[in-house]
């Protein structure tokens, strides 16, 4: 249940470390709670220091940037169709651009398998472990 002011860890290599949710982009609702697979608008609170000129990945975000992200792990249990409940120890997200494409190129960490059901197959295929 990620809402306004909820913080999430970033698990891709886009450069951000911690983001804060500003808005949950759900159809038909302007506010509300975001769960695994929901897109959010966020502010980058902490980012990796950008090293000078030549950087491996083109898109490096700075602190204070307003970006979009998709939630991949939540502390709140999420129900699967067969009745299982999956709960992670932290909230995590992956940064996106306005066209729903990933900003980073790699994902480091577990992601929830509910992403596949919500249409984020690319993220699921990049993740090292899906639960």
Partner 1 sequence: MSEGQGEERNSGSRDTPHTFTIPPRSVASGRVYRVQASKPRATRLQRLRNSTLLSSAQLAATVLTTTTTRLWLFASSGVGSHTMLNVFRRCARRLMSTATEASSSAYPFSKVAVIPPPPPVPTPEPVKFGKGLMAYLPQRTLPQHKLDLLARFNKRHPERIMPGSVLQVTTNHAPSSFTGVVLSIRRRGADTSFVLRNVINRTGVEVQFFVCSPHVKDIKVLMRAGGKGGEGRVGRRMRRAKLFYLRDSPEKMTAISAGLR
By CB under 8 A, name the binding residues for partner 1: 73, 77, 82-90, 92, 108-110, 113, 128-131
Q: In angstroms, what is the minimal distance from the CB of 9 to partner 1?
A: 9
Residue closer to partner 1 by CB (options 89, 101) is 89
Q: In angstroms, what is the minimal distance from the CB of 112 to partner 1?
A: 9
Residue closer to partner 1 by CB (options 43, 110) is 110
Q: In angstroms, what is the minimal distance from the CB of 26 to partner 1?
A: 25
Residue closer to partner 1 by CB (options 55, 121) is 121
Question: What is the full DSSP assignment across 102-124?
Answer: BSSS-B-SEE-THHHHHT-HHHH
Q: Using alpha carbons, select from 89, 88, 105, 98 the residue that is nearest to residue 115.
A: 88
In order of 5, 42, 56, 60, 64, the CA distances from 52 in angstroms are: 31, 25, 11, 11, 19
């Amino acid at each position: 249940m990620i809402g306004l002011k909820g913080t999430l860890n970033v698990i891709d290599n886009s450069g951000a470390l911690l983001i804060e949710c500003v808005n949950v982009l759900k159809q038909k609702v302007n506010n509300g709670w975001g769960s695994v697979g929901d897109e959010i608008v966020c502010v980058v609170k902490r980012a990796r220091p950008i090293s000078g000129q030549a950087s491996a990945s083109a898109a490096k975000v700075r602190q204070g940037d307003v970006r979009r992200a998709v939630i991949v792990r939540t502390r709140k249990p999420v129900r699967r169709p067969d009745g299982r409940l999956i709960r992670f120890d932290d909230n995590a997200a992956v940064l996106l651009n306005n066209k729903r494409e990933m900003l980073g190129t790699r994902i480091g960490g577990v992601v929830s398998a509910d992403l596949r059901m919500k249409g984020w197959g690319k993220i699921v295929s990049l993740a090292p472990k899906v639960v």
